[in-house]
Amino acid sequence: MSKFDELRTKHPLFIYHSYELSENSLTFHFQMDEYHFYPKWQFDKNYMQGNFSRLQLEEAAFSLGMAELVSYWKCSCCPTVEIKCKGLSEWQKNWWKKLYFNGLGEFFYRNGIDAEFDSFMTIIAPEREPLPETNSVLTGALVPVGGGKDSALTLEILKQAGEDITPYVINSRKATAGCVEAAGISPEKAICPLRTIDKTLLELNKKGYLNGHTPFSAVVAFSALLFGIMTNRKYIVLSNESSANETYVEGKNVNHQYSKSTEFESDFRVYCAKTFGNCPEYFSLLRPLSEWQIARAFVNYPQYFPVFQSCNLGGKTDIWCCNCAKCLYVYILLGAFLDDDTLVKIFGCNMLEKEELSEMLDGLMLEKEDKPFECVGTKSEVRLSLSMALEKRRANAPALLKRFNEKFPDYKPVDLTKFFDRNNFVPEKFIGYVEMLAR
């Protein structure tokens, strides 16, 4: 019997007991047999001073719990999930199952789990009571800021458009605070909740329970919705690009970035419209663009160079580890536009000289290789960036650019200059500013 089947037999039921929303915190209660989980969000009580719909806020709090739930459920993949604190329609149950199933694609793949949509989970919940219509006046944009180049560019575009910006930062750190400051936005304007994972989950992981990637961007979406309702924001503006739609494993539906994809964005907008009615509009401002175009635009804002940081491994200490696929990917993109001295000041070393990263490079650029499980773009973007970086350094090419040249001796760059993904939800008032970056 596989560990997946063994744990499902041992733990047949996962319960979402309750959520408790106070003036400065939100706590959830989940249970799996003798194990109880109490993940928590803490925030400034001043956020709760606005004129919002309490019923909408309660629904958003509950929904955030549904997004958090999967991180705890995945440790044993209980076949049945029982919701005790609120109702769900059949349509909503299927909506959540789709998010969990697709968002756990990498988790299932890396744990060798052959899951089927119909049988991997059954959700039991009372019937839902519809919310009454609200007439709240919504203004301004709530912008999730993760500390990387993408959200920094979103801030700059919205500034050009004259939008009233409220940065949204989960578990603030040096890079996120630095990006807000580099954008010229007062730190007092930012909404900065603290999210805490229940330690019981970490203890179970140490005991050999299942672990792996979950759709965290869905947590970002529902938490942003919660604080957007709380503060009467009109927009929730994400910074997900077109390449977030791409599968990571040849021939399989495994997308590390599923909850950043256009499919999830569309589904989330429908869920909000059906469940909440008048509420903040969720969209990704950078969806029409490729990562290569984003990098080309980002290098025009050097004020972010000393502070931005995208490395997940080095995130807690605000460093670029310079040994992971995310660091290498960002280095390659920026290497197409920036010189070595500038890059070394940003990263702390010349990553193109690190021959030990050759296999990682192959995963980023070769079609027959699986992409590394990081938030990285398309292989055509990587190859274009490598070819441009090579042209800048052909007289003294470092090891990884020599490897690129050996693999693609007759490479002809694909022109991504005017790429524009029309499958997007960018409002008319902002689309012109984004189109300017595709010229």
- pLDDT attached to residue 250: 65
Q: Tell whether 160 is covered by a domain.
A: no
Q: 255 pLDDT exceeds 80? A: no
For residue 385, give both structure tokens. Answer: 């960036």
Same domain, yes or no: 112 and 200 = yes
CB contact at 8 A, 32 and 81: no
CB contact at 8 A, 287 and 124: no
pLDDT tens digits along 306-350? 999 999 887 778 899 999 999 999 999 999 999 999 999 999 999
Element (H, E) at 37: strand 35-37
- Measuring CA to CA, which residue among 437, 428, 416 is closest to residue 156? 437
Same domain, yes or no: 194 and 320 = no
Q: Tell whether 430 is covered by a domain.
A: no
Q: Tell whether 427 is covered by a domain.
A: no
What is the SS3 assignment for 305?
A: coil
Q: 19 pairs with which residues across the strands?
A: 28
Half-sphere exposure of 168 (CA within 13 A, CB side): 27
Q: Tell whether 7 is covered by a domain.
A: yes
Residues 6+ apart with CB under 8 A from 117: 97, 98, 101
What mean pLDDT is predicted for residues 375-400? 92
Same domain, yes or no: 215 and 344 = no
Higher pLDDT, residue 26 or 246: 26
Estimate to the nearest angstrom the gap between the alpha carbon of 183 and the chain centroid.
Answer: 21
Q: 21 pairs with which residues across the strands?
A: 26
Same domain, yes or no: 64 and 118 = yes
Is residue 39 exposed (0-12), middle (13-18) or buried (19+ Cβ within 10 Å)? buried
For residue 157, give both structure tokens. Answer: 């575009």
Tell me which residue range forms the domain holding 396.
311-419
Lowest-confidence range among 93-102, 285-294, 334-343, 403-412?
Answer: 403-412
pLDDT tens digits along 421-431? 999 999 999 99
Calculate ∠ Cα 88-91-92, nearest 5°: 45
Q: Tell whether 247 is covered by a domain.
A: yes
What is the SS3 assignment for 409?
A: coil
Question: Angle of helix 54-73 relative to helix 216-230, nearest 10 degrees?
Answer: 160
What mean pLDDT is predicted for residues 49-65? 93
Question: Angle of helix 291-298 relative to helix 325-335, nearest 10 degrees?
Answer: 60
- Measuring CA to CA, which residue among 24, 15, 27 is closest to residue 125? 15
Q: Tell whether 243 is covered by a domain.
A: yes
CB contact at 8 A, 7 and 209: yes
Alpha-carbon distance of 375 to 257, in angstroms, equals 6
User: Sorting pLDDT into bands at 50, 70 and 90, what band is 132?
Assistant: confident
DSSP 422: -
Lowest-confidence range among 16-30, 141-155, 252-266, 281-295?
Answer: 252-266
DSSP 122: E
For residue 313, give both structure tokens. Answer: 């491994």
Same domain, yes or no: 10 and 83 = yes
- pLDDT attached to residue 136: 83
Same domain, yes or no: 205 and 349 = no
Same domain, yes or no: 212 and 81 = yes
Total domains in the fold of the chain: 2
CB contact at 8 A, 102 and 258: yes
Alpha-carbon distance of 362 to 89, in angstroms, equals 46
Q: Tell whether 88 is covered by a domain.
A: yes
Alpha-carbon distance of 404 to 422, in angstroms, equals 31
- pLDDT attached to residue 84: 98
The mean pLDDT value of the chain amounts to 94
pLDDT tens digits along 356-369? 999 999 999 998 78
| pTM of the predicted structure, to 2 decimals | 0.95
Compute the CA torsion angle 340, 341, 346, 348 (nearest 10 deg): 90
Same domain, yes or no: 122 and 248 = yes
What is the SS3 assignment for 233?
A: strand
Same domain, yes or no: 230 and 371 = no
Same domain, yes or no: 11 and 127 = yes
- Measuring CA to CA, which residue among 226, 310, 220 is closest to residue 265? 220
Alpha-carbon distance of 49 to 397, in angstroms, equals 58
pLDDT tens digits along 191-218? 999 999 999 999 999 999 999 999 999 9
Q: Tell whether 298 is covered by a domain.
A: no
Per DSSP bridges, beta strands 25-32 and 40-42 are antiparallel
For residue 270, give both structure tokens. Answer: 């429908």
Alpha-carbon distance of 353 to 397, in angstroms, equals 9
Alpha-carbon distance of 349 to 166, in angstroms, equals 34
Same domain, yes or no: 315 and 274 = no
Same domain, yes or no: 123 and 76 = yes
Q: What are phi and psi of 154, to 5 degrees?
A: -60, -45
